[in-house]
């Protein structure tokens, strides 16, 4: 590696204005030109804070106290302003909607050039060239509403690349992307890295997804300190992932279950480099030893969609001919690519929108004439964005809102709320203002405020997006508990791990049609469904092939059953 670092933290600490303790402690880190770095760590460990220090938002937008030095390209960032830094560092923020400031894709890509007073003709020429690199040249005049999540992500990418910066920083580029789009995003980043030799820094929770392509070094933060700085192979062999509450790649978990020792010479960092020769036998033995059948749910139907079609504008169909039947007490995933119509389907069920054709039945009865309020007694919907649901400033009032609106006497409300807050792990905060909660806690408040109304069916839209593994597990374990109490649960998700681990059955949408309704393990091994619904093969399936196990689906199913037994469910 080149000796001269492009980014150099030297005994660097940072404390936010409102915090009583530093968020970053004594960071020493050198990043060299042309390196590709991944930063991981649990939620709140300071990853974004570190990123903000590099791109200058700290101290430009976030006030606080800095000690130690940070040099970028041999200049102390103390002496640079955010504009000078923006010439060196291009940042793609997590929320691609938020940074899409233009009215069309073309305008958005050109934004940095406009600010630089580049003449009109040169600007159009450069936008066209960069758009070609990310394959957006035909969509330059589309508005953000007409673009899918992935296309928006490409637009943001083009928007920072146009400036010809040396360092590209991505803060959680994969959140909210469907698996295939996420994979493409990683590939685009990798291609840029290869062709341009830029320094690349990726911050991400989804370790396995980033490791789809090669990474030079992985840096792990916990509690504002660097706890690991190593290559991917060494990292997955160590116990660091588990110790710091980060999910290890599924294939590693499977190998550990099989009793195989994972060592660096197996090149286990990436599924593409993994050598399984030494543990094939162990894997086969383990696989053959599992025989458990997923119990079949033979309860009666609770929710049934019969040839339902819907369109927002009467022209473009968003849902077509949807038929499925959900049984009492089931836990089902609803998956499919960005814009497939998943959220729309949940709105139809709750009566937010009215189907154009078809019938929705609850326990056999057509619910066409039920109002939103009446349906809410049966079906509770937790929307994707907690901010859209919270309207009170205290947790207690927020959860009580639905009950008070139903004119339930105050003395009955109290015990119900206390019970539900306990189930949601929120009892210690009962007096807290909601503004003091983290995103994951807010999400649980919204779940509580729906649960307290005792719905028979609970629909959750992206319950775990942007959460780290610990909070993710907390939320999911809690949902499993509920499910055991008899609540039927429908999860809308892009997280394939979640689907595999928690829901035996998956309903797959693509372009508004239902293309599969089967076991979760089958969905992620069927090439056709994977292609149509923008999913991604699970690495377990690849592992099975490497180990010479013919029936990959059975292997995946076996893994799920084994895990379920471990957790005693």
Partner 1 sequence: MKLFSYNTVDTPIHCLSGFTKLLCFLLLTFAVMYSYDIRVVLLIMIFSIAILKVSRIQFSQIRTMVIYALIFIVTNAIISFFFSPEMGVEIYGTRHRIIKLVGNIYLTQEQLLYQVTKFFKYASVIPLGMIFLLTTNPSEFASSLNGVGIPYKASFAVALTLRYFPDIQRDYRDISLAQQARGLDLSHKAKFKDRFKNSLLTVIPLIFSTLDRIELISNAMDLRGFAKYKKRTWYTSKKLDRQDFTAIGISALIFIGSLCVSLFINHSRFYNPFI
Partner 2 sequence: MKEYFKVSTKTIVATGLGAAIFMLLFMYVKVPSPVPETSFQTAYGLSGFFATLFGPIAGALISFIGHALSDAVQYGSPWWSWVIASGVSGFIFGFAFKRTNVEEGEFKGKDILTYNIIQIIGNVVAWIIVAPVLDILIYQEPASLVFTQGATAAIMNIISAGVFGTLLLVAYSATRTKKGSLSKK
Ligand X SMILES: Nc1ncnc2c1ncn2[C@@H]1O[C@H](COP(=O)(O)OP(=O)(O)OP(=O)(O)O)[C@@H](O)[C@H]1O
User: By the criterion CB under 8 A, which residues form the site for partner 2?
Assistant: 16-21, 393, 433, 435
Q: Does 333 bind Mg ion (CB under 5 A)?
A: no
Give the β-pairing of 357-362 and 317-327: unpaired
> Is 435 a binder of ligand X (CB under 6 A)?
no
Out of ligand X, partner 2, partner 1, none, what residue 401 binds, judged by CB under 5 to 8 A for its kind, is partner 1
Q: Find the largest Cα–Cα distance for the chain.
A: 72
CA distance 96 to 427: 35
In terms of C-beta density within 10 A (0-12 exposed, 13-18 middle, 19 or more buried), how is residue 319 classed?
buried
User: Under DSSP, is residue 490 helix (H, G, I), strand (E, B) or coil?
Assistant: strand
Q: Does 43 bind ligand X (CB under 6 A)?
A: yes
45 is a site residue for ligand X (CB under 6 A):
yes
Q: Which does 435 bind (CB under 5 to 8 A by kind): ligand X, Mg ion, partner 2, none?
A: partner 2
Q: What is the dihedral of CA 500, 473, 534, 551, to 10 degrees?
A: -20
Distance CA 560, CA 417 (A): 35
Binder of ligand X out of 77, 244, 344, 557 (CB under 6 A): 344
Binding mask 63-82 for ligand X (x = CB under 6 A): --------------------
Partner interacting with residue 21 (select from partner 2, Mg ion, partner 1, none; CB below 5-8 Å by kind): partner 2
Shortest Cβ 404–partner 1 spacing (Å): 8
DSSP state of 152: H
Q: Residue 17: which region, alpha, beta or left (left: phi > 0; alpha: psi -120 to 50)?
A: alpha
Kindly tell me the burial class for residue 373, based on how many C-beta atoms sit within 10 Å of its own C-beta (0-12, 13-18, 19 or more).
Answer: exposed
383 binds, among Mg ion, partner 1, partner 2, none (CB under 5 to 8 A by kind): partner 1
Give the number of other Cβ atoms within 10 Å of residue 454's Cβ. 12
Q: Least separation, in Å, of the C-beta of 87 and partner 1?
A: 8
CA distances from 452 to 184, 399, 485 (A): 41, 7, 14
Torsion angle defined by CA atoms of residues 169, 33, 190 and 54, in that order, rounded to the nearest 10 degrees: -10
167-171 and 89-92 strand pairing: parallel
Q: By CB under 6 A, what part of segment 141-200 binds ligand X?
A: 149
Comparison of 391 and 518: residue with beta carbon closer to partner 1: 391
Query: Which residues make up the interface to partner 1 (CB under 8 A)?
Result: 55-57, 60-61, 82-83, 86-87, 90-91, 93, 95, 97-99, 101-104, 106-107, 110-120, 123-124, 127, 144-145, 159-160, 163, 347, 350, 352, 371-373, 375-376, 380-381, 383, 385, 387-391, 401-402, 405-406, 449-450, 453
Closest CB 159 distance from ligand X, rounded Å: 20
User: Contacting ligand X (CB under 6 A), which of 62, 324, 352, 478?
Assistant: 62
Which residue number, 159 or 380, has a Cβ lying nearer to partner 2? Answer: 159
Which residues lie below 8 Å from residue 425, measured CB to CB, with a gap of 6+? 444, 474, 478
279 makes contact, choosing from ligand X, Mg ion, partner 1, none, with CB < 5 to 8 Å by partner type, with: none
**Cβ-based nearer residue to partner 2, 288 or 438:** 438
CA pair distance 379, 458, nearest whole angstrom: 6
Residues in contact with ligand X, shown as a per-residue x/- string from 312 to 341 under the rule CB under 6 A:
x-----x-----------------x-xxxx
Which residues on adjacent β-strands are paired with residue 394? 433
- Taking CB under 6 A as the rule, does residue 22 contact ligand X? no
Residues that bind ligand X in the complex, under the rule CB under 6 A: 16, 18-19, 23, 41, 43-49, 62, 149, 312, 318, 336, 338-344, 468
**Contacting residues toward Mg ion, per CB under 5 A:** 48, 343
């Amino acid at each position: 590696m080149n000796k001269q670092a492009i980014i150099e933290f030297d005994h660097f600490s940072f404390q936010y204005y409102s915090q009583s303790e530093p968020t970053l402690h004594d960071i020493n880190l050198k990043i060299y030109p042309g390196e590709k770095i991944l930063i991981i760590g649990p939620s709140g460990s300071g990853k974004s804070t570190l990123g903000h220090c590099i791109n200058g938002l700290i101290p430009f937008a976030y006030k606080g106290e800095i000690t130690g030095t940070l040099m970028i390209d041999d200049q102390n960032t103390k002496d640079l302003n955010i504009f000078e830094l923006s010439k060196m560092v291009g940042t793609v923020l997590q929320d691609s909607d938020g940074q899409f400031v233009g009215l069309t894709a073309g305008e958005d890509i050109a934004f940095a050039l406009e600010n630089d007073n580049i003449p009109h003709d040169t600007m159009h020429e450069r936008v066209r060239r960069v758009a070609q690199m990310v394959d957006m040249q035909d969509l330059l005049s589309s508005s953000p509403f007409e673009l899918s999540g992935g296309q928006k992500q490409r637009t943001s990418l083009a928007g920072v690349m146009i400036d010809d910066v040396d360092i590209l920083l991505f803060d959680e580029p994969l959140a909210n992307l469907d698996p295939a789009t996420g994979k493409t995003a990683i590939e685009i980043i990798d291609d840029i890295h290869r062709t341009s030799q830029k320094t690349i820094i990726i911050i991400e929770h989804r370790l396995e997804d980033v490791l789809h392509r090669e990474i030079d070094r992985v840096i792990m933060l916990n509690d504002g300190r660097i706890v690991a700085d190593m290559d991917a192979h060494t990292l997955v062999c160590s116990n660091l992932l588990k110790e710091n509450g980060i999910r290890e790649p599924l294939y590693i978990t499977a190998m550990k279950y099989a009793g195989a020792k994972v060592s660096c010479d197996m090149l286990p960092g990436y599924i593409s480099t993994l050598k399984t020769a030494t543990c094939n036998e162990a894997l086969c033995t383990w696989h053959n030893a599992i025989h458990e059948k997923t119990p079949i749910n033979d309860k009666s139907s609770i929710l049934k969609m019969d040839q339902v079609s819907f369109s927002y504008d009467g022209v473009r169909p968003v849902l077509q001919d949807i038929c499925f039947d959900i049984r009492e007490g089931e836990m089902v995933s609803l998956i499919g690519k960005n814009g497939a119509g998943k959220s729309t389907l949940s709105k139809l069920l709750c009566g937010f929108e009215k189907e154009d054709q078809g019938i929705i039945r609850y326990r056999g009865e057509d619910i066409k004439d039920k109002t939103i309020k009446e349906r809410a007694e049966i079906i509770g919907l937790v929307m994707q964005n907690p901010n859209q649901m919270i309207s009170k400033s205290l947790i207690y009032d927020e959860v009580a809102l639905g009950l008070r609106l139903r004119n339930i006497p105050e003395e009955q409300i109290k015990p119900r709320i206390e019970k539900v807050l306990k189930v949601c792990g929120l009892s210690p905060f009962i007096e807290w203002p909601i503004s003091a909660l983290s995103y994951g806690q807010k999400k649980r408040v919204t779940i509580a405020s729906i649960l307290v109304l005792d719905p028979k069916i609970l629909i959750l839209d992206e319950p775990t997006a942007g959460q780290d593994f610990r909070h993710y597990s907390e939320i999911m374990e809690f949902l499993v508990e509920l499910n055991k109490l008899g609540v039927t649960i429908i999860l809308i998700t892009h997280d394939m791990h979640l689907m595999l681990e928690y829901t035996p059955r998956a309903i797959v949408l693509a372009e508004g049609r239902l293309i599969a309704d089967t076991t979760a393990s089958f969905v992620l091994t069927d090439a056709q469904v994977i292609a149509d619904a923008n999913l991604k093969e699970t690495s377990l399936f690849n592992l099975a092939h490497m180990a010479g196990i013919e029936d990959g689906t059975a292997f995946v199913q076996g893994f799920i059953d084994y895990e379920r037994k471990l957790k005693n469910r």
